[in-house]
Structure 1
Amino acid sequence: MSSSCCTPDGSCHTSAGESTTATAVADSTATTYRVSGMTCGHCKTAITKSVGELAGVISVDVDVAGGLVTVTTGGEADDAAMAAAVDDAGYELTGRA
């Protein structure tokens, strides 16, 4: 049997560094924005990369068909920084959804 961080009851034990990350995610905020101009996988990649490079961003989920970008941050999202990152990727953030 191979070793794993997961116990038989489905809980996990991790190192202190990983616990800190889990805490940051637990204290995170998800904000969804409407973004215009997205049409394909390249759009998703470009926005994910640009927004993902912002300080405090934990994850980025892009729904091209719905025109939505959900950003999980370690605190309150900075709308101006998000708009600038989306603009840098070549798209337009039109507001919060």
Structure 2
Amino acid sequence: MSPRGEERVQLLRSSLEPGAHGGADLYTVNCDVEVMHVISGAVTVRFADRTVRLESGDALTLPGREPHTWTADDDAPAEVVWVLVPAPWSGSA
């Protein structure tokens, strides 16, 4: 949603199919802050030491460099907005 030249923030909106995921392995994002807001459906975020389930209207803020991954609920699609600060492509993080 944000233009590629914007280095301060990256805003992404994703339509996730049931069972979609960020991969089996934990990963990091080259940003200071990552915010995930579930508009509809449900998504589970897995960390090394915990799991957090987010449902419609829920949001989660985390350090982008904290290893994590996510999985959309198997029963229904999900709409999710991610905010990444600074934009990972900026090279400033």
Higher strand share: 2
Bigger Rg, which one: 1
Q: TM-score if structure 2 supplies the norm length?
A: 0.29
Higher helix share: 1
Q: TM-score if structure 1 supplies the norm length?
A: 0.28
